[in-house]
Amino acid sequence: MDAYSSTIIDAVAKVKTAVVKIETHKKQDNKRTGAGTGSGFLFSSDGYLFTNSHVVYNATQMLVKLHDGSQYPAHLIGQDVETDLAILKISAIEFKPATLGDSGDLQIGQLVIAIGNPLGFQHTVTAGVVSALGRSLPSQSGRMMDGMIQTDAALNPGNSGGPLINANGEVIGVNTATIQGAQGLCFAISINTAKEVANQLIRFGKVKRAWLGLVMQQIDLVPKLRAINELSNKTALFITGVTKGSPAERAGIISGDILIAFNDHAIETADHLFKQLTEDKIGQFQHLVILRHFARTELRITPAQKN
């Protein structure tokens, strides 16, 4: 067997038993009706699993089907519409959870594999590459989801909430969206963002965060630019858009700026920025460092509450 096929087979084998199918139901006129299906994956040995918020949104009952055909009712621990993530809990035992990787190590062009239940076809595997990193994409609420992984691994309805894995079988993203009418434009929430969201959902049942109002894309910084500005960053966030009336607009940030630091922390990925936008930053002056026309510029910004 060729090396490419062997790599995919070995990677899928490490995670396939952790991938689940989720069936949701809603009550209508005092009758229970099927609302839809999606995917998810177990990430802890005590039954916690990731899926998308839009998979379980407004569901009154959720049923999780494991790889061996067994089914368990699921309890919603919490969901975050802004990142399209939800955490469910089941009481299953004797299963092996997926291993969570580090999305900060991803490289454009790297092999990735998506596993899920598209259109009801359970445990479907597709493969592709990382097309771009640090993308921003509108969420259900209209706010931008940051730190998205763009891939050409085919996704279809039902793939939502399933894992995106690397060649080692480690989960590096949660599959979430495609661009309708386009081919090869699929997106996953980075697992580093998902870890932060899961921590807050499990602890508080919701996510507390500050908001800047930036639309971003992760880019590589060329050596000459790094040398001129004495930067430690190898990558940074290119600002492709600024939300009207947002803290970013009031701070004077414009499209084309490159965000390289927040306070004293170098910002190389959207995950780095997400970690800094904690609740205590809301309403307080913070310092941003950007590159504008290749020159280093410092700005002050006051993050707002992200409702």
CATH number of 4's domain? 2.40.10.120
Bridge-based pairing state of the strands 214-220 and 235-242: antiparallel
190 belongs to the catalytic site: no
Q: Identify the domain containing residue 230 by its residue range.
A: 210-305
Instruction: State which of 190, 206, 222 marks the end of a domain.
Output: 206
Q: Residues 54, 139, 146, 190: which is the catalytic one?
A: 54
Q: Please list the pLDDT of the chain residue by residue as tens digits (307 residues).
A: 789 899 999 999 999 999 999 988 877 666 666 667 889 999 998 899 999 998 888 888 899 999 888 899 999 999 988 888 999 999 877 778 999 999 989 999 999 999 988 656 667 899 999 999 988 777 665 666 778 899 998 887 778 899 999 999 999 999 987 766 666 788 999 999 999 899 889 988 888 888 899 988 889 999 988 998 889 999 999 999 999 999 999 999 999 999 999 998 999 988 888 888 888 899 999 999 999 998 999 999 999 986 5
53, 79 Cβ separation under 8 angstroms: yes
CA angle 157, 162, 164 (to 5 degrees): 115
User: Do 159 and 259 belong to one domain?
Assistant: no
Is the same domain home to 199 and 215? no
Same domain, 217 and 193: no
Full-model pTM:
0.78
Find tokens 């089914």 and name the residue: 71
User: Cα 275 from chain centroid?
Assistant: 13
Residues 234 and 118 in one domain: no
- Confirm if 44 and 97 have CB atoms less than 8 A apart: yes
Is 84 part of the annotated catalytic residue set? yes
Active site residue 160: yes
> Which of 206, 233, 252 is a domain's end point?
206
CATH code of residue 253: 2.30.42.10
The active-site residue out of 84, 146, 257, 271 is 84
pLDDT at 280: 85
Q: Which listed residue (103, 160, 257, 272) is catalytic?
A: 160
How many structural domains are present in the chain? 2
- Residues 194 and 217 reside in one and the same domain: no
